[in-house]
Amino acid sequence: MDANNSMCVLRERKQQAFDAACCDFVVNHDVEAIARKLEMSGTMLRNMLNPNQPHVLKPVVLASISRASGDYSIVNTLFAEDGVVTVPIPNAKDNLNLFERVLKHSAFSGELSSDALSMCNAERLPRSTKRKTLAKAQAALGNLVLLINDLEHRTTGLQPLVQIGTDFLANGAPIPGLA
């Protein structure tokens, strides 16, 4: 019997977090523009995101909303207690090399450390601060995914090894006998 009670508590807590994430989403995004991208009515989308309306947000619509907005906070809210975090892979249009990508990660880490320090001393954590910090953490994770992706592509075969070698030499590595 206790197992059923704890399951209901988990379900209720998860539902409340989901409802709050949907409300935050409506506040932070132009729902009309997202609805146009999805070729649906803005009112219908707004009703799906409103916990007081009878319309239900279906998983396919949730995935489409997340993709169109680039905001995966609702999905992350659903999986948070299960230890799962989604990380959208950002567009790698910046073509950063490994060193620049690591430096970018260091900058994200510094910003997150600063936020954590300010949160430790705060009496309460406003939702806006939480959202901004989560956005920074998502950006840092996306950068790490690109770093991992770049490393994997560079180390599968002879051509990437030659490419790493030329990058190493071109960036000022000493050559024995010439240094």
Same structural domain for residues 162 and 124?
yes
Q: Which domain holds residue 48?
A: 2-82
Tokens representing residue 80 in the block:
């948070």
Q: Is the pTM of this model over 0.75?
A: no
Same structural domain for residues 59 and 128?
no
Tell me how far apart the alpha carbons of residues 97 and 145 are, in angstroms, rounded to a whole number: 14
Same structural domain for residues 73 and 111?
no
Distance of CA 134 to the CA centre of its chain: 8
The per-residue pLDDT string of the chain (179 residues; one tens digit each, 9 = 90 and over) reads 455 555 566 688 888 888 988 988 898 889 999 999 999 998 999 999 998 988 889 999 999 999 898 888 888 888 887 888 877 777 767 778 888 888 888 999 999 998 888 888 878 888 778 778 887 888 888 888 888 877 877 656 556 556 666 666 666 666 555 55
Domain membership of residue 92 (yes or no) is no
| Residue tagged 């396919």 (tokens) | 60
Domain membership of residue 178 (yes or no) is no
